[in-house]
């Protein structure tokens, strides 16, 4: 298909391969894309040489640099079930609609009394929701909602895992899902004393294994002495 | 722009044949859209999963008195401004017949300081492990035996146990950095422990200077 450029007119360029490639890439990115809503806080975790991937099935506690704790469950059904049980425990009424909406939300950091109002807040207004002081986790007074969220959320997540496992066994297929793991994501500049409270909450529940989320790094530490 | 060229190359000023005009579709809008989508997906794509570090905390013993005393312990005390202190052995609040009052030494997070110190402390264990690795690679050891021996070396009484304690001003980054450095140097055992009041006083004294 060689073609000599004709004098005068604009040179015609065969764009077919480029367009093919463009569509190929569009297809690839569309199929690999996973949509997520924005997290309520952006935390910048420290770097480490840890190379373990964060498991897909996890229960995540995020701690921002002011020490606020945010709670999230990756499995949306487990999340809905956990909210139902928490609502019953704390006697906060939720509508079915709110529960469904809640399952699509990422982590949240509000008192359960403010949670219905938080769920009804518009998406773009949610990050400036007040009061957003983090999930209460007082380790001395009985108002440790984070503990209940972790205990109930963890139980529900394991239930969902068991359900998926029996279903897969009945269908005779391979079962690849893993048990839920507890992950902690924390900003590098957070005072460790806040993290300690969260870890205390976990160890009080006899949970001792965590995945601490970090950024990937070449090796060793990077802080250079200033002198 | 992009267009389908059909009709097997154009003959210049070809003869006008009735009804044999090639079908041309203007694909410009479609291609525009394709690139727009491509740009959107490329920019919003998140490729790697977040990485994480697995950490296990010790379960508290049922009876606090059962806890065996830690031998060969090295305690790191973290404080504000990325400062890190350490002392070896047991904590001694004051001079007595067993030895001098505990003095804190300072390290920093550079390769020459903390890493060098850890290497020094772990030299024996690392050498033994290295010998094992060489033997293992030379197929003189079975996989399971190798694993057991490495574990034994790490749990050896002579291998130091590292204790990490923080005061109320240390950051999470410091803690991760220390654990990271310990992992990097394949130390035997390390554990996060609550700081004691006299240790806290010592650190405050040091930092206050």
Decide if B59 and A206 are in contact by the 8 Å CB cutoff: yes
Say yes or no to pLDDT of B134 above 60: yes
| pLDDT band, residue B11 (cuts 50/70/90) | very low
Q: Which residue of B1, B37, B181 is in closest CB contact with A15?
A: B1
* Per-residue pLDDT tens over the stretch A132-176: 788 887 767 777 888 888 888 888 888 888 888 888 888 877 777
Nearest chain A residue to B116 by CA distance is A220
- The nearest CA of chain B is from the CA of A138 a distance in Å of 17
Q: CA angle at residue A63 from A162 to A205, to 5 degrees?
A: 45
| pLDDT band, residue B99 (cuts 50/70/90) | low
Which residues does chain B have within 8 Å of residue A1's beta carbon, measured at their own beta carbons? 5, 8-9
* pLDDT at residue B180 in the model: 83
* pLDDT at residue B9 in the model: 45
Decide if A22 and B31 are in contact by the 8 Å CB cutoff: yes
Q: Which residue of B35, B173, B184 is in closest CB contact with A49?
A: B184
Average pLDDT over residues B139-153: 78
How many of the other CB atoms lie within 10 Å of CB of A56?
Answer: 13
- The nearest CA of chain A is from the CA of B97 a distance in Å of 36
Q: Which residue of B48, B50, B180 is in closest CB contact with A213?
A: B50
* Per-residue pLDDT tens over the stretch B55-68: 888 777 766 666 66
Interface A-B, measured as beta-carbon pairs within 8 A, has a size of 176
Which residues does chain A have within 8 Å of residue B50's beta carbon, measured at their own beta carbons? 45, 53-54, 185, 213, 215
- The nearest CA of chain B is from the CA of A56 a distance in Å of 9
* pLDDT at residue A224 in the model: 42
Nearest chain B residue to A10 by CA distance is B1
How many of the other CB atoms lie within 10 Å of CB of B84?
Answer: 23
Three-class SS state of A53: strand
Extract the runs of DSSP E, i.e. beta strands, from chain A.
47-48, 52-53, 58-63, 69-73, 181-186, 209-216
Distances (CA, A) of A182 to A56, A197, B50, B164, B186: 11, 15, 14, 22, 24
Query: DSSP readout, A155-214?
Result: HHHHHHHHHHHHHHHHHT--------EEEEEE-TTSBHHHHHHHHHHHHHTT--EEEEEE
* Per-residue pLDDT tens over the stretch A46-86: 887 777 788 888 888 888 888 888 888 888 888 888 888 88
- The nearest CA of chain B is from the CA of A104 a distance in Å of 19
Average pLDDT over residues A32-58: 77
How large a percentage of chain A has pLDDT more than 90?
0
* Per-residue pLDDT tens over the stretch B17-50: 566 677 878 878 888 888 898 888 888 776 667 7
Say yes or no to pLDDT of A198 above 80: yes
Q: Which residue of B49, B60, B82 is in closest CB contact with A223?
A: B82
Say yes or no to pLDDT of A40 above 80: no
Name the residue ranges covered by the structural domains of chain A. Answer: 47-216
Which residues does chain A have within 8 Å of residue B33's beta carbon, measured at their own beta carbons? none
Which residues does chain A have within 8 Å of residue B177's beta carbon, measured at their own beta carbons? 46, 48, 221, 223
Which residues does chain B have within 8 Å of residue A196's beta carbon, measured at their own beta carbons? 166
Decide if A6 and B35 are in contact by the 8 Å CB cutoff: no
List the structure tokens of B75: 């305690």
List the structure tokens of A11: 């040179």
Decide if B49 and A214 are in contact by the 8 Å CB cutoff: no
Residue B86 and residue B107 in contact, taking contact as beta carbons nearer than 8 Å? yes
Decide if A49 and B183 are in contact by the 8 Å CB cutoff: yes
């Amino acid at each position: 298909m060689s073609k000599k450029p004709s004098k005068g007119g604009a040179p015609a360029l065969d764009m077919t391969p480029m367009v093919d490639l463009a569509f190929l890439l569009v297809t690839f990115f569309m199929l690999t894309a996973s949509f997520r809503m924005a997290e309520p806080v952006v935390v910048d975790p420290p770097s480490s040489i840890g190379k373990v991937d964060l498991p897909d099935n996890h229960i995540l506690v995020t701690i921002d640099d002011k020490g606020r704790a945010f709670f999230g469950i990756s499995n949306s059904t487990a999340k809905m079930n956990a909210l139902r049980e928490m609502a019953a425990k704390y006697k906060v009424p939720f509508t079915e609609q709110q529960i469904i909406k809640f399952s699509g939300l990422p982590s949240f950091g509000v008192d359960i009394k403010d949670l219905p109002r938080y769920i009804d807040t518009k998406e773009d207004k949610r990050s400036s929701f007040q009061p957003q002081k983090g999930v209460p986790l007082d380790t001395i007074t009985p108002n440790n909602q984070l503990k209940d969220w972790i205990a109930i959320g963890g139980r529900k997540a394991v239930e969902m895992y068991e359900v998926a496992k029996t279903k897969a066994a009945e269908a005779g297929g391979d079962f690849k899902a893993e048990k839920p793991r507890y992950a902690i994501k924390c900003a590098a500049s957070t005072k460790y004393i806040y993290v300690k409270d969260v870890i205390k909450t976990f160890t009080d529940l006899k949970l001792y294994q965590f995945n601490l989320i970090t950024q990937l790094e070449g090796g060793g530490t990077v802080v250079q002495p200033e002198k | 722009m992009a267009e389908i060229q059909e009709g097997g190359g154009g003959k210049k000023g070809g003869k006008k044949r009735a009804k044999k005009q090639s079908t041309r579709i203007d694909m410009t809008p479609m291609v525009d859209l394709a690139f727009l989508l491509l740009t959107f997906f490329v920019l919003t794509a998140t490729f790697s999963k977040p990485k994480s570090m697995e950490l296990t905390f010790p379960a508290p013993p049922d009876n606090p008195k059962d806890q065996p005393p830690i031998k060969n312990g090295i305690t790191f005390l973290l404080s504000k401004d990325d400062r890190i202190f350490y002392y070896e052995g047991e904590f001694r609040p004051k001079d007595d017949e067993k030895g001098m009052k505990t003095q804190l030494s300072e390290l920093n997070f550079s390769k020459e300081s903390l890493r060098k110190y850890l290497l020094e402390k772990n030299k024996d264990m690392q050498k033994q492990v290295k010998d094992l690795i060489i033997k293992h690679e030379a197929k003189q050891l079975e996989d399971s035996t190798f694993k057991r021996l490495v574990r034994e070396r790490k749990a050896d009484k002579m291998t130091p146990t590292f204790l990490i304690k923080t005061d109320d001003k240390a950051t999470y980054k410091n803690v991760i950095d220390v654990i990271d450095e310990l992992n990097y140097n394949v130390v035997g055992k390390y554990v996060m422990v609550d700081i004691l009041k006299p240790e806290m006083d010592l650190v405050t004294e040091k930092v206050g200077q």
